[in-house]
Chains A and B, each alone.
Chain A
Amino acid sequence: MKARLMRITVAFSLLLVLLLALPTLAFASEETEGTGIGIELFIPKPGEFFPMLVGFVVLWAILAKFGWPALTGMIDKRTQSIKESLEQAENAKIQGQQLLDEQKAELAEAKKQAAEIIAQSKQTAEAVKAEITAQAQHEAEAITSRARQAIDVEKQAAIAELQGFVADFSVAVAQKVIGSDLSDTEHRRIIERYVSEAGDFGDN
């Protein structure tokens, strides 16, 4: 960059010198033809040209020594800075892209895990629901069975109670009939029969 700038400066200086020197030769014929006032305004006089040239060279040397290095230094620094910034930007872009890719991957993974958890939860919920339903059915059957058993027991108890009542009533009626409706003679007849049928004291 610096070398290129130097070359451009040198080429421009030479061209400027040539352009300043050549019009003296090119427009020399016009001086004789006319009054020679118009074009001479632009052609430097030799007595002025060489000091101008020296001045120019001195100026050019000073610039070359102090100006162009500073300028090129600044330009280089700027270039470097821009380069570094570009590199940083590029790196940041790359890092950003990487981060984005990682985040996308993590997001995809999280979505996948969430889907799995949801599916598992659904499965678990279904299983729990089935278990609760089965348990409830089982308990309902047990309650029904116990109720039936209780009903049967109550029924048997009621039947037994009724049987007992009927038996007691029958016995009471028979006792009353036999006790009150039989005469003494009939009682004695019964006693005689029982004495005849009764066993020995040794049998008891």
Chain B
Amino acid sequence: MTTKPILAKAKAAVYAEVLLKTAPDPNSIFELASQFDQLLKTVRGSAELALTLANQHLAARERRAIAHEVFIHLRPELLAVFEVMVERGDLDVLARAHAQFERRAEQALGVVIIDVTTVVPLDERLRSLIIKKYASQLGSGVRLREHVDPGLAGGIILSLHGRRIDASVVSQLQSARSVLIRP
């Protein structure tokens, strides 16, 4: 188990670098970034899975096999790196590795990756609108990672490097609720 932050940071950088080097082309990098994001959300979303993969009482080979079974649908490069991470007991650096990979991927692609969540899939018009707006603001190319979530009820949520713009209908309804219940 990694205990020192500097060591953790170094390890995360190594994993990110290795993963980046395994990508054959820029499109693969983007796909890897998207899948890495999904992998991280899956592990965070299931405490049981996270505990099992980090359980030191299990043999390393067993942990690796479990990770392989669960995430077999991922790209082989990412799956391989993840299996090594699990085998070595470095699951705690997964989030750092993801952040580092995102940054490196953006640098490699020359773009910033913005996560966009909407109720319905974006069409080309909306994509260009969003890309145009934020490319001019950020001074860099923009690539959108699109997600569909009917729970938003409408509107859009944009996130970049941990920062978030929530223009969804559900959050606005929640604000209205706060006003309604105010004494």
On A, residues with C-beta under 8 Å from B are 156, 160, 163-164, 166-168, 170-171, 174-175, 178-179, 182, 184, 187-188, 190-192, 194-202, 204
Contact = CB atoms under 8 A, between A and B. Distances in A.
Contacts of A201: 134, 137-138, 158, 160-161, 163, 165
A194 B181 contact: no
Contact of A197 (B125, B126, B161, B167): B167
A204 B163 contact: yes
Interface in B118-172: 118-120, 122-123, 125-126, 129-130, 133-134, 137-138, 150, 153-156, 158, 160-161, 163-165, 167, 169-170
Nearest to B133: A195
Nearest to A170: B180
Contacts of B167: 194-195, 197-198
B176 interface: yes
Interface residues of B, number: 34
Contacts of A167: 176-177, 180-181
Contacts of A178: 153-154, 169
A183 to B, nearest CB: 9
Contact of B173 (A163, A171, A182): A171
Given A191-B122, A201-B138, A204-B163, 8 more contacts: A171-B174, A178-B153, A179-B153, A179-B154, A188-B123, A191-B120, A198-B165, A201-B161
A188 B177 contact: no
A114 B28 CA distance: 114
Interface of B: 118-120, 122-123, 125-126, 129-130, 133-134, 137-138, 150, 153-156, 158, 160-161, 163-165, 167, 169-170, 173-174, 176-177, 180-181, 183
A167 B173 CA distance: 9
A47 to B, nearest CB: 162
22 contacts: A163-B181, A167-B176, A167-B177, A167-B181, A171-B174, A175-B153, A175-B169, A175-B170, A178-B154, A179-B153, A187-B119, A190-B169, A191-B118, A191-B126, A194-B156, A198-B158, A198-B167, A199-B165, A201-B158, A201-B163, A201-B165, A204-B164
Contacts of B123: 188
A192 B163 contact: no
Nearest to B164: A204
Contacts of B153: 175, 178-179
A103 B158 CA distance: 112
B156 A198 contact: yes
Nearest to A203: B165
Given A175-B170, A201-B134, A191 B155 contact: yes
